[in-house]
Amino acid sequence: MSTLPNFDVHTHAFHPKIAAKVLRQLEHHYHIPPLGTGELSDLLPRLAQAGIDRACIHCAATSAAQVIPANRWALSLQKTPGLIPFGTLHPDYKNMAEELELLQRKGIKGIKIHPDFQGFRLDAPALLPCFEAMQDNFTLMVHVGDLLPPEQNPSCPFKLAYIKRLFPNLKIIAAHFGGYRHWQYVLQAFTGLEIYLDCSSSLFTIGQSLLEEIFRKWPRELLLFGSDYPLFDPGEEMKRLQYRLKLSDAQLRRIMQNANALELC
């Protein structure tokens, strides 16, 4: 049996002073009542109970002024064993190159962006120098999908495919099986590209035939487990993934461990 760590690549944890406010915003946007409090004191026991050894923690600066506070919060999480905090960026922040250099120097291995919440297009020209600087140094986690049609959405599979073709050395995780509510476009946009897909915030609503088609056609080594805590519980999402895809324990374990190839820790 493999002794590699099990990963949840998509979780969120907030400072206690803002956790309740952020959860209200999430519920208002997605109409999904969060199952957790969004605080480390709630997340860590859930991870332990699920047998998850490593969890990537994400935040997204909704303005240039939030870049520094969000990234300093991420740096503070490094002292908690098992947590892998991702930094964030915003195209309106003027010193992004210096900020990326600092994060790299401090040991941050990933960057999360959520174009829909952050108020910019994924393919905004101001972001391109940031993506170029991230190649070989960071893994990029991207919220993909939401509004339809995709061309009117700040993020969509086609925009992310454009970024990957521009910067082929950039390691990318496309959240929500490649595009929340955009699943019908995922294979069309991503086939032939080395893009990781996580299963976060998808299993509760994606149609069975579409789920099975993506799973059947996408390279197994590019599938990752993500719970999107605090919207969902990691242990329950593991069970739901296994049930919906009829996975053996060994198949589930492989998905849980695929993130080791990203060398995030």
**How confident is the model over 189-243, as pLDDT tens digits?**
999 999 999 999 999 999 999 999 999 999 999 999 999 999 999 999 999 999 9
CA dist., res. 251 & res. 253, Å (int): 5
**How confident is the model over 52-63, as pLDDT tens digits?**
999 999 998 989
pLDDT at residue 117, rounded to an integer:
86
User: Are the C-beta atoms of residues 179 and 185 closer than 8 Å to each other?
Assistant: yes
DSSP state of 36: S
* Token reading at 187: 């294979």
Radius of gyration over alpha carbons of the chain, in Å? Answer: 17
Helix, strand or coil, per DSSP, at residue 173: strand
pLDDT at residue 2, rounded to an integer:
62
**How confident is the model over 112-147, as pLDDT tens digits?**
999 998 999 999 999 999 999 999 899 999 999 998
| % of the chain with per-residue pLDDT over 90 | 85
| Residue burial 119-129, b: 16+ Cβ < 10 Å; e: rest | ebbbbeeebee
CA dist., res. 100 & res. 57, Å (int): 17
CA dist., res. 67 & res. 121, Å (int): 17
- Of 215, 214, 217, whose CA–CA distance to 247 is shortest? 215
Q: What residues pair up with 172 in beta bridges, in sequence order?
A: 140
CA angle 257, 74, 12 (to 5 degrees): 60
Contacts of 89 (CB under 8 A, 6+ apart): 61, 67, 96, 99, 100, 111, 113, 127, 130
pTM: 0.96
Q: How far is CA 3 from CA 64, 238, 239, 264, in A?
A: 41, 18, 20, 17
pLDDT at residue 253, rounded to an integer:
97
pLDDT at residue 26, rounded to an integer:
80
Single-letter amino acid code for the residue at 144? V
Helix, strand or coil, per DSSP, at residue 178: coil
CA dist., res. 21 & res. 177, Å (int): 27
Q: How far apart are the first and last CA of the chain?
A: 21
- Of 33, 79, 88, 36, whose CA–CA distance to 58 is shortest? 88
**How confident is the model over 153-184, as pLDDT tens digits?**
999 999 999 999 999 999 999 999 999 999 99
**How confident is the model over 215-228, as pLDDT tens digits?**
999 999 999 999 99
Domains and CATH numbers, the chain: 7-59+119-260 (3.20.20.140)
